[in-house]
Amino acid sequence: MNSYPLLSLAIWLPIVGGLLVLLLGSEARVALSRWMALAISAATLLLTLPLYCQFDSTTAAMQFVELAPWVERFSVNYHLGIDGLSLPLILLTSFIGVLVVISSWTNIANRLSGYLGAALIMEGLMIGVFAALDAVLFYIFWEAMLIPMFLIIGIWGGPNRVYATIKFFLYTFLGSVLLLIALIYLYLQSGSFSILDYHQLAISADVQTLLFFAFFAAFAVKIPMWPVHTWLPDAHVEAPTGGSVILAAIMLKMGGYGFLRFSLPITPDASQEWAGLMIGLSLVAVIYVGAVALVQTDMKKLIAYSSISHMGFVTLGIFLFSPLGVEGGIAQMVSHGFISAAMFLCVGVIYDRMHSRDIADYGGVVNTMPLFAALMMFFVMANSGLPGTSGFIGEFLVILAAFEASFWIALGLASSLVLGAAYNLWMYRRVIFGAIANDKVAALTDINGREKLVLVTLAVAVLALGLMPNPLFDVMHASVDALLDHVSQGKL
Amino acid sequence: MGQVAMSFSVQELIPVLPEIVLLIGASVVLLVDLFAPGKGRASTYLWSLIALAATALALVYSFQGPQIVLGGHYQSDALSLVLKLGMVIGLACVLLYGRSYLAARDLLSGEFFTLSLFALLGMMIIASGGSLLSLYLGLETLSLSLYALVGFDRRSVASSEAAIKYFILGALASGMLLYGISILYGVTGTLNLVVLQGEIAAVLTDTDARQFSMLLGLGVVFVVVGAAFKLGAAPFHMWLPDIYEGSPTAVTNILGTVSKLAAIALVLRLFADGLQPLLLQWQPMMMMLAVMSLAIGNIVAIAQTNIKRMLAYSAISHMGFVVLGVLAGTAEGYSASLFYMLTYALTGLAAFGMIMILSREGFEADKLDDYKGLGQRSPVLALIMMVVMFSMAGVPPTVGFFAKLAVIEAVMAQGHTWIAIVAVLFSVIGAFYYLRMVKLMFFDDVEDPSPIEAAWDERVVISLNGLAILALGIFPGGLLAVCSQVF
């Protein structure tokens, strides 16, 4: 086992680095902020790579564990560790972190150092969420992250940013405080804040139900599930491109991760009891929200609704309690991390040139931006779940798992693929194809080197995961099997 | 009383040394000010700080473990030490923040310093109160000084109005408290808190004394009302917003932070020491106080346009949390309340300090709109204010999170889960107006681009203050341990 505290480094390097960028940066030294941020995020990515290389995929036990007493009054520990559930998400976070920095190179007009600093701090906090094994530590990372996101949307966002960011903050805060109550309850029962202790704690059925819904309040808002999803379209639309990318690619995954780390293992019996409700809500998200995406006139809103719809696959897969479903859900999270990031970046590319997200303002973009059109075509296809792309893997596995459970669930899910193809391709047709809509479109220039770099990297990632998903599945088998074993045993 | 006089020895004065030093210091300041040259009052200011430093040293070096002296009227223990250190440091910050603010308003006179020091003396007596009598005397010393301080800006109508309001309502509350104390004394025949506790327990277990236990319940009602008034918990909060708004901000800073420490001292001495056996009587009353404070404070604060009024309502809601910890009725709960109040005072100091730093001659900086675009005018000050706001909202990694965690944990340990849920839900409502401050500072454009004139010492203090809020949020273990060892 490695003797370096890799997880701590991966968490604190971006946080401390982000603070430095914040302190050293000024309007006069934009280049310094950029290169510092790039160096820090790249170093973080490099730090997380050994996590994968040295990961022992044969065991479900926590690895790279760090444990030190922190607040002795409440026996809170600084306890970090990862297993197959968290490793993919940590890698996703550090990977997207670099892309966010590169994509914000020139399109943030004012206070760039603050923006990059906030993004880096958030990256560290999100890695912290995925690595924390102490409930208070987890909660602190989980909540602290709201502050930089609140600022990113509020300072650098669109015209209605204040409404969107306050709604985002209060919505998620409301869910989180109920999580806090649940965690304190568990602490009083077990005398510890260790999440792993909670997994073994015997809890009666009634209490499990209450705890399950407290967890639900926090995680369903975050992921988000219908009907508590309404903050997401607002936040996405108003956030600057980088903020949208972080939100969609990583922050939503925290909700799915929460279900896997808290709901399932701590309240296994309640999870099974209420699985029907979860599957029902997920189906509504997949189908109804997919239909809602169809009628959007704002590109970012469309992608936001498509995100909610895709996250429906994740929650549905998780609550089928089969290896296929859970692994499909995790694969869907990772894949959506790549694809939604790419989609928002694509919108960002044309938004930077046209300052409009309205589909009606576009048309015939392919004539002036052929390379961009090709790349966006690829991502739109991936978003619709085209085989060969990563979007296919997760959805296919979840649908397979659904067939094992019930034909009708699978039918509902499969029908959403048609919807997905419809809203994606229709949007693409209206924006990219057709005659050149107006003078602004005629004056567009194709993507520059930096945009190319970001989009091509993501395209390679989407393709690689789509063609060779095994490196991803290999690391999670043991953990998923152990988790499902634990759930099927129950606590009663 | 004869016995008390006989058992007196000079040895007994050692625990009282901090108060003696402070009294001498306050008198010196009074004298120095008489002969101080010019209007700058630099010497008065310096001597006040020296008096505070001497008091702090006396506190640390005269402490010899728990002792009860002066016939049981005075007790020196870890609780009093922690509270007094907090009060002394807090008042020193108030003076540092307040100097240029007062000077700009032509209020920098000796009275401010002497009255503040005498108020501190009253607070320290409360913190060490060993009997109902000394608690009451301390409270009156504090209150009389505060009445005068509130009305200290004699050219301001608002200030005079606030002083009269405060005096009338404060006197009423003192009367209530005194009436409750007299009933307790009538039933038990003692003023000493330790003896009182035993006597009450005896009355409660004595089945022949049923009527006395009812009378004790009546006394407790008045004590709770008096304490709730001093704490500023709803529904006895009506004075708070007007007085916060009307007083000069330097005085609001004392009211909002240091004197809250005196209030928690009073509450802990009364309920944790003396009235502990009557827990079942005062617990339901405190539940009502807590829920009403949380509700009224958080909801009404949203409607405020004046930051001092907003902070007043925010204070009411925070008192709800403090009362929650107390009503748990356990050592955990008391220590959680103590931790909450200490960290709240720390946060409040920075909030009111910021108002004073941003104000200048003829401009109070007390409207919410005055904070528009602060993030562009002074990023550092705006960041500090943001930390303060997030701490008050209870968002990690600030200390406000651990304060709320401690209180909620103590309450839930006693099985009052529903009240914990009510508390956190109201704190979500409360988060809105703290977020609005952040919004004004960072998302809105500058309306008043005039430069911020802050002295270097004020900048240093407010930076340290903001850092302390963050540092305690990341490493709360030390202070939490201190607070739990006290009980």
Nearest Cα residue in chain B from A155: B443
Lowest mean pLDDT among A171-175, A386-390, A434-438, A466-470: A434-438
Contacts of A15 in chain B (CB under 8 A): none
Chain A neighbors of B431, CB-CB under 8 A: 169-170, 173
Interchain contact B331–A (C-beta under 8 A): no
Confidence check: pLDDT of B8 > 70? no
B439 CB within 8 Å of a chain A CB: yes
Contact at CB, A73 and B420, closer than 8 angstroms = no
pLDDT at A27 over 80: no
Indicate the pLDDT class of residue B7, thresholds 50, 70 and 90. Answer: low
Q: How far apart are the first and last CA of chain A?
A: 36
pLDDT higher than 80, residue A351: yes
More confident residue, B316 or A488: B316
Please give the average per-residue pLDDT across B134-143, as a whole number: 94
With beta carbons under 8 A apart, name residues in chain B contacting A184: 405, 408-409, 412, 420
Give chain B as a 3 state SS string: CHHHHHCCCHHHHCCCHHHHHHHHHHHHHHHHHHHCCCCCCHHHHHHHHHHHHHHHHHHHHHCCCCEEECCCCEEECHHHHHHHHHHHHHHHHHHHHHHHHHHHCCCCCHHHHHHHHHHHHHHHHHHCECEHHHHHHHHHHHHHHHHHHHCCCCCCHHHHHHHHHHHHHHHHHHHHHHHHHHHHHHHHCCCEHHHHHHHHHHHHHCHHHHHHHHHHHHHHHHHHHHHHHHHCCCCCCCHHHHHHHHCCHHHHHHHHHHHHHHHHHHHHHHHHHHCHHHHHHHHHHHHHHHHHHHHHHHHHHHCCCEHHHHHHHHHHHHHHHHHHHHHCCCHHHHHHHHHHHHHHHHHHHHHHHHHHHHCECCECCCEHHHHCCHHHHCHHHHHHHHHHHHHHHCCCCCHHHHHHHHHHHHHHHCCCHHHHHHHHHHHHHHHHHHHHHHHHHHCCCCCCCCCCCCCHHHHHHHHHHHHHHHHHHHCCHHHHHHHHHHC
What is the pLDDT of chain B when averaged over all its residues?
Answer: 90
Mean pLDDT of chain A: 89
- The size of the A-B interface in CB pairs under 8 A is 88
How do the domains of chain B map onto residue ranges? 9-486
Q: How many CB atoms lie within 10 A of CB A276?
A: 10
How many CA atoms lie within 13 Å of B167's alpha carbon, on the beta-carbon side?
A: 14
CB-closest option in B409, B417, B435 to A169: B435
Per-residue pLDDT, B40 = 59
User: Which of A15, A70, A73 to mutate to probe the B interface, most B CBs <10 Å?
Assistant: A73
Instruction: Collect all residues with Cβ–Cβ distance below 8 Å to A312 and sequence separation of at least 6.
Output: A225, A226, A282, A283, A284, A285, A286, A289, A416
Q: What is the pLDDT of residue B471?
A: 93
Q: What is the pLDDT of residue A435?
A: 81
B431 touches chain A (CB under 8 A): yes
Q: Kindly compute the dihedral angle of the four CA atoms of residues B153, B155, B160, B162, in this order, to the nearest 10 degrees.
A: -60
Q: Which residues of B touch A164 (CB under 8 A)?
A: none
Flag whether residue A146 sits within 8 Å of chain B, measured between CB atoms. Answer: yes
Kindly list the distances between the CA atom of residue B68 and the CA atoms of B189, B217, B379, B416, in Å, as whole numbers in the listed order. Answer: 19, 28, 50, 35
Query: What pLDDT is attached to residue B4?
Result: 47
Q: Does B482 touch chain A (CB under 8 A)?
A: no
B-proximal residues of A, 72-131, CB under 8 Å: 72-74, 114
Question: Once rounded to an integer, what is the mean pLDDT over residues B380-401?
Answer: 92
- Band of the pLDDT at B55, cuts 50, 70, 90? very high
Q: Is A14 helix (H, G, I), strand (E, B) or coil?
A: helix
Contacts of B439 in chain A (CB under 8 A): 154, 162, 165-166
A73:B438 CB<8 A:
no
Q: Is A372 on the interface with B (CB under 8 A)?
A: no
Q: Is A187 on the interface with B (CB under 8 A)?
A: yes
The verdict on a CB contact (< 8 Å) between A169 and B480 is: no
A interface test, pick of B409, B412, B484 with most A CB neighbours within 10 Å: B409
The pLDDT of residue B6 is above 60: no
The neighbouring-strand residues paired with B68 are: B75
Q: Could you check whether the bond before residue A50 is cis, i.e. omega within 30 degrees of 0? A: no
Confidence of residue B423 (pLDDT cuts 50, 70, 90): very high
Find chain A residues with C-beta within 8 A of B409's C-beta: 74, 184, 187-188
**pLDDT tens readout for residues A332-348:** 999 999 999 999 999 98
User: Chain B residues with CB inside 8 Å of A146's CB?
Assistant: 395
Please report which confidence band the pLDDT of residue B38 belongs to, taking 50, 70 and 90 as the band edges: low
Regarding predicted confidence, which is higher, A121 or A432?
Answer: A121
B401 contacts A71? CB cut-off 8 A: no
Give yes or no for residue B3 having a pLDDT over 60.
no
Q: Does B471 touch chain A (CB under 8 A)?
A: no
Residue A154 touches chain B, beta carbons under 8 Å: yes
What integer is the mean pLDDT of B88-106?
90
For residue B145, the model assigns a pLDDT of 94
pLDDT band at A471 (very low <50, low <70, confident <90, very high): confident
Minimal CA separation from A70 to chain B, in Å:
7
Collapse the DSSP code of A361 into the 3-class scheme (helix H, G, I; strand E, B; otherwise coil) and give the result.
Answer: helix
Is residue A231 less than 8 Å (CB to CB) from chain B? no
The pLDDT tens digits of the residues spanning B107-130 come to 888 889 999 999 999 999 999 998
Q: Which chain A residues touch B424 with a CB distance below 8 Å?
A: 177-178, 180-181
β-pair partners for B192:
B131
A89: amino acid identity, one letter: L
Q: How far is CA A36 from CA A22, A207, B142, in A?
A: 11, 49, 54
Contact between chains at B428 and A174 (C-beta distance less than 8 A): yes
Instruction: Give yes or no for A215 touching B (CB within 8 A).
Output: no
- pLDDT exceeding 90 applies to what percent of chain A? 34
Taking 60 as the threshold, does the pLDDT of residue B1 lie above it? no
For residue B2, the model assigns a pLDDT of: 40
Query: Span B73-82, mean pLDDT?
Result: 92
A2 φ/ψ angles, rounded to the nearest 5 degrees: -70, 140
Q: Which of B426, B258, B468, B340 is nearest to B332 (CA)?
A: B340
The answer to whether residues B224 and B292 touch, using CB atoms and an 8 Å cutoff, is no
Determine the residue among A70, A76, A177 to mutate to test chain B binding: the one whose Cβ has the most chain B Cβ atoms within 10 Å. Answer: A177
Q: Each residue of A194-217: pLDDT tens digit?
A: 998 888 888 888 899 999 999 999
Query: Contact B435/A136, CB-based, under 8 Å?
Result: no
Residues of B in contact with A162 (CB under 8 A): 439, 443
